[in-house]
Amino acid sequence: MARQLDEQLAARFPVGRRLRVLDVGMGRGAQALRLARAGHKVTGLESDPDLLKAAREALAHEPEGIRERFRAVEGDGRETGVHFLPGSFDVVLCHGALMYVEDRDAMLAGLARMLAPGGLLSLLVRNADALALRPGLAGDWDTALTAFDRDAYTDRLGLRVRGDRLASVTATLAGIAAPLHTWYGVRVFTDGAADDVQPPSGEELARLLAAEDRAGRTDPYRSVAALLHLCGVRGQ
């Protein structure tokens, strides 16, 4: 995911430019901190008090220069207009948050309004077209058969959430003047790994990441990824 995002930033903006980044639903702030370390000015928006606290604690251990470039704000991604002026950001991230929002299109429209002309909207959504794959590979045939006809599913935390289909999100992005520029698959080969399995290290991890990166940008593999990384660009 980070590789994909960096690829889009490098292709879209001049080298060395310090971007204004909004991370909506930043969680513990891993992606936001990574971009702040790279020199960008980052605002993280998070509604969960525990996650916000964790992000702020992580930020407290960073050097002063990074702390000055990072601002953590408590707030809901559906209310970006309350916190920020339209066109305030070059990049808006919303990774793994849309699946918990009932009115997806309204939230996307609000996110797009935060972008300056030519800005990048980066979304990470659960792939509704592949919901049957994980239970099917695990031999859970009842769940797999049900998943073919539904967009909702129960995640590993036991929460009922929604998947999104590529065609549907593409249509929404076109309608809010941030048409889809490119898209990737995320977690093609590794989605079925158990939660308690530790990832490999060293060369084995490098090979795993290389395989995931290749599959995430190659048809037909990316179409069955657990997650979709969609990049829209705000109209000039």
pLDDT of the residue at 66: 95
pLDDT of the residue at 212: 97
The DSSP code for 207 is H
d(CA 105, CA 169): 8
Q: For the whole model, what pTM was predicted?
A: 0.94
The DSSP code for 160 is E
Residue 104: CB atoms within 10 Å: 19
Distances (CA, A) of 13 to 24, 90, 228: 21, 9, 23
The helix/strand count (H/E) of the chain reads as 10, 9
Q: Per-residue pLDDT tens for 66-88?
A: 999 999 999 999 999 999 999 99
d(CA 228, CA 128): 9
d(CA 106, CA 139): 37
58 burial level (CB within 10 Å; 0-12, 13-18, 19+): middle
pLDDT of the residue at 199: 87
pLDDT profile of the chain (236 residues), mean per 10:
95 94 96 96 96 96 95 93 95 95 94 97 97 94 93 82 96 97 96 84 95 97 97 90
pLDDT of the residue at 219: 97
pLDDT of the residue at 236: 63
Cα angle value 200/222/89 (rounded, 5°): 90
* Cβ atoms 131, 147 nearer than 8 A: yes
Distances (CA, A) of 81 to 57, 109, 112: 27, 11, 11
